[in-house]
Amino acid sequence: MTLSPMETAAAKTPDSMAKRIRGLSNRTIAWIFVAPTIFLLLAVNIFPLIWTIRLSFTNFRVNRPNNDVEWVGLRNYERILNDPDVWNTMQATAHFLIWTITLQVLIGFALAYLINKKFKGNDMWTTIIVFPMMLSPAVVGNFWTFLYQPQIGLFNYVVAFFTGADPASFSMIGDVHLAPWAIVIADTWMWTPFVMLICLAGLRSIPDSIYEAAECDRASKWRQFWTITIPMALPFLMLAVLFRGIENFKMFDLVVQLTGGGPGNTTTLTSIDLKREAFEKWRTGYSSAYAVILFVTVFGLASIYVKALNKVKER
Amino acid sequence: MSFSVTEPTKGTKWFAGILVIGYACITLVPLLWIVATGFKSPADSIAYPPVVVFEPTLEGYVNLFTDRTRATPDMIEAAGPAETWYDQIARERGTVISGPSRYGERFLNSVIIGFGSTFLCMVLGTMAAYAFSRFKVPLKDDLLFFILSTRMMPPIAVAIPIFLMFRNLGLNDTHLGMILLYTAVNLSLSVWLLKGFIDEIPIEYEEAALIDGYTRFQAFYKVVLPQAATGIASTAIFCLIFAWNEYAFAVLLTSGTAQTAPPFIPTIIGTSGKDWPAVAAGATIFLVPVMVFTILLRKHLLRGITFGAVRK
């Protein structure tokens, strides 16, 4: 490697002089530039996290600040893991996660595959399809309750129109069997474009030459799809699943506005349950332990998944 | 055009186009329904079967921006003729306007907190991203991963201590508190995205500037910033949209002075039951700016939503 003119010049200049010419040293500038960000993140993310971990070993309650705070060791953790309600919540979350991800991957990939056929105006339609995911989930979720109204709601009307059922005979958010699907439908409507965009990038990253070679070898379209398209797009698909998984594990705004966790506890996802414990029942110590368990779960699952993702990428 | 085996046939294109456009139309229905409901009268909004053709009215918007009290016909008579068109609309429903509603304030809060946090986030984010892109920062990969991992925490989980911390500092329900909070949440996105954009600017430009006698700082804001302008702008829009849409922190940490629109809109109720046209009007005003931004962003959308992991 040859030195650039600047480097040759710099090599000839004494250090102190170089410093005067270029101002502060690179290391100092780097720290000045990075420090505010790190500081703010420490203050607003790490400090609260450490505080949460500390509180999780106590019986502290925010609404009773004058009570003695006692160390209770692992009792909060024990109680959470033995609480059947928490496991119901986990089940509701699992149902929500599995179905939203399955539907979004299937529909999102299919859409991306079709858009990749490069019909006229595909860019414009892609942008239109993306609209729902950019909007405020709380505001949109609130409006979906209107679409789901028994009698007057548009959703019920459309379902009734196609199935012939009475539009007043079922309530998507009031029925214990339908409510878990109501949130899956709304979330799928909102986030399918996300999976679609990532899949589209994956499909566009496959070079034409591979298909041309396959065509020369007389591989059928069906075979090309399974041996070229799917394996090459897989890392992208997995990335989309990772993002959706983390986001939906944290899901709060859309569902809390849609069903509020009801009816009963059928749509009480973990974040909603956590919010009740922390900000309605004010069991601060208990909910802190709950938060720690959730965080460890997301972080653990995500790291295992990322390892798998990297393996797929290397192939 | 040369023949290519990978170019889809005309029939395939038609078929794909029809399916995608069909999906787009279905997916647009709820959004169009929000906009349409905003212009319906309360009776039309809950009509069965749902009405598609209706006489548009601004009643929803009037109800959104005003507080009204019920009045008997005599009282309305005694008050004399309506002075403004919105007075007229309220009186036709047997109510008189008693003052502006809270929606204006809440919307303004969203604007202040959204733009304030975006500005702060861009200043801090650009600096950090530049340092990560150009200098050897010790533990660089660890720091970058740490910055990203802050996004994995459920907002409710960190909300408990933030609530306590803000209460001690007097930041609960203040604009400053929310601006700092959203800045911190958005920093991960902005640092990762901006690092990607700055990585793409050839380092030779700065070297040339340094030879010309610029200091590092001068090279940063006279060479790098203008080059990264598009990237900075699209990152800013992403941060703005996030702060604009955020609900969990807003609903837990604000209740009055600093409450933003997302927790407020669902609480809008009319004089008798839920006033859906007013809710829809509030939602329309709140959502349409984001749709415009989405169109502006379309080239960088993918990058933004994947934290720069996928760049096309």
List, in sequence order, every beta strand (DSSP E) within A186-285: none
Measured CA to CA, the distance from residue B291 to residue B283 in angstroms comes to 12
Question: Which tokens is A86 given?
Answer: 């928490």
Q: Are B48 and A22 inside 8 Å of each other by CB?
A: no
Q: What is the pLDDT of residue A8?
A: 52
Question: Which tokens is B265 given?
Answer: 């809109």
| Percentage, residues of chain A above pLDDT 70 | 92
Check whether residue B258 and residue B145 sit in a common domain.
yes
Measured CA to CA, the distance from residue A80 to residue A70 in angstroms comes to 18
* pLDDT confidence bin for A22, thresholds 50/70/90: low
Domains and CATH numbers, chain A: 15-55 (no CATH), 80-314 (1.10.3720.10)
Q: Which of residues 238-297 of A touch B (CB under 8 A)?
A: 239, 243, 246, 249-250, 252-253, 257, 270-271, 274-275, 278-279, 284, 287-288, 291-292, 294-295
Q: Closest residue of B to A208, CA-based?
A: B6
Check whether residue B93 and residue B116 sit in a common domain.
no
Measured CA to CA, the distance from residue A117 to residue B271 in angstroms comes to 52
Q: Nearest 5 degrees, angle CA A181-CA A95-CA A177?
A: 40
- In chain B, DSSP finds a helix count (H) and a strand count (E) of 17, 2
Q: Are A197 and B153 inside 8 Å of each other by CB?
A: no
A/B interface, count of CB pairs below 8 Å: 304
- The enclosing H or E element of B66 equals strand B66-70
Measured CA to CA, the distance from residue A133 to residue B130 in angstroms comes to 30
Check whether residue B199 and residue B214 sit in a common domain.
yes
Measured CA to CA, the distance from residue B306 to residue B312 in angstroms comes to 11
Total domains, chain B = 2
Q: What is the pLDDT of residue A79?
A: 92
Q: Are B156 and A41 inside 8 Å of each other by CB?
A: no
Measured CA to CA, the distance from residue A196 to residue A201 in angstroms comes to 9
* Residue B86 belongs to some domain of the structure: yes
Last residue of some domain: B267, B285, B307? B267
Measured CA to CA, the distance from residue A97 to residue A183 in angstroms comes to 11
Measured CA to CA, the distance from residue B33 to residue A145 in angstroms comes to 13
| Percentage, residues of chain B above pLDDT 70 | 97
Q: Residue B267 above 60 pLDDT?
A: yes
Check whether residue B129 and residue B191 sit in a common domain.
yes
Contact B155, B273 (CB under 8 A): no
Mean pLDDT over residues B172-179, rounded? 92
In angstroms, what CA-CA distances link B80 with B2, B63, B74, B187? 77, 21, 10, 56
Check whether residue B111 and residue B185 sit in a common domain.
yes
Tokens 């508190």 map to which residue? B177
Q: Residue B38 above 60 pLDDT?
A: yes
Q: What is the pLDDT of residue B1?
A: 43
Check whether residue B85 and residue B112 sit in a common domain.
no
Q: Of A204, A197, A192, A193, nearest to A233 (Cα)?
A: A204
pLDDT in tens, A139-182: 999 999 999 988 888 999 999 889 888 888 888 888 899 999 99
Check whether residue B140 and residue B251 sit in a common domain.
yes
Q: Of A50, A166, A195, A187, nearest to A108 (Cα)?
A: A195
Higher pLDDT, A2 or A228: A228
Check whether residue B110 and residue B97 sit in a common domain.
no
Last residue of some domain: B102, B119, B140? B102
3-state secondary structure of A129: helix
Report the residue of B156, B195, B239, B306 to disrupt the A interface, i.e. the one with the largest count of A CBs within 10 Å: B156
In angstroms, what CA-CA distances link B214 with A21, B203, B208, B218? 8, 14, 9, 6
Q: How many CB atoms lie within 10 A of CB B187?
A: 29
Q: Are A257 and B180 inside 8 Å of each other by CB?
A: no
Q: What is the DSSP string of B213-247?
A: T--HHHHIIIIIHHHTHHHHHHHHHHHHHHHHH--
* Residue B187 belongs to some domain of the structure: yes
pLDDT in tens, B119-166: 999 999 999 999 988 888 777 777 777 777 777 778 888 888 888 889
Measured CA to CA, the distance from residue A91 to residue A314 in angstroms comes to 34
* Residue B312 belongs to some domain of the structure: no
Q: What is the pLDDT of residue B7?
A: 80
pLDDT in tens, A246-299: 889 989 999 999 998 878 888 999 999 999 998 898 888 999 999 999 888 888
Contact A180, A266 (CB under 8 A): yes
Check whether residue B156 and residue B170 sit in a common domain.
yes
Report the residue of B153, B165, B220 to disrupt the A interface, i.e. the one with the largest count of A CBs within 10 Å: B153
Contact A76, A57 (CB under 8 A): yes
Residue A136 contacts B where some CB pair is shorter than 8 Å = yes
Full domain range(s) for residue B81: 11-102
Which CATH number is B229's domain given? 1.10.3720.10
Q: What is the pLDDT of residue B87?
A: 83
Higher pLDDT, A114 or A64: A114
Report the residue of B23, B178, B193, B249 to disrupt the A interface, i.e. the one with the largest count of A CBs within 10 Å: B23
Q: Are B158 and A38 inside 8 Å of each other by CB?
A: no
Q: What single DSSP character describes residue A58?
A: B
Q: Of A90, A258, A27, nearest to B266 (Cα)?
A: A258
Measured CA to CA, the distance from residue A35 to residue B127 in angstroms comes to 9
